[in-house]
Copies of this chain bind each other. A is one copy, B any other.
Amino acid sequence: MLEPLYLNLGQHDALSDAEKALLASAMTFERHFAIGQDIVASGSRPTYSTLILDGLAARYKVLENGGRQFTSLQVSGDFVDLHAFLLKTMDHGIVALSPCHVIFAEHSKLRAITEEAPHLTRLLWLDTLVDGAIHREWIVAMGRRSKTSHLAHLVCELFVRLQVVERTNGMSFHLPLSQAELADVLGLSVVHMNRVIGALRKVGVVSWANHTVTILDWHRLQEIAEFDPTYLSMMREPR
Contacts and interface: CB of A to CB of B under 8 A. Distances in A.
A143 to B, nearest CB: 3
Contact of A139 (B83, B139, B144): B139
How many residues of A sit at the interface, in one of the four size bands? 35 or more
Interface in A185-222: 186-187
A170 interface: no
A47 interface: no
Interface stretch (A23-31, A32-40, A127-135): A127-135
Nearest to A86: B126
A71 B126 CA distance: 19
Contacts of A128: 125, 128-129, 132
A17 interface: no
A226 B62 CA distance: 11
A17 B130 CA distance: 31
Contacts of A129: 83, 86-87, 128
A159 interface: no
A146 B130 CA distance: 29
Interface string A70-100: 0110000000000100111101100000000
Interface of A: 59, 61, 63-64, 67-69, 71-72, 83, 86-89, 91-92, 114-115, 118, 121-122, 125-126, 128-133, 135-136, 138-140, 142-145, 184, 186-187, 226, 228, 230-231, 233, 235, 237, 239
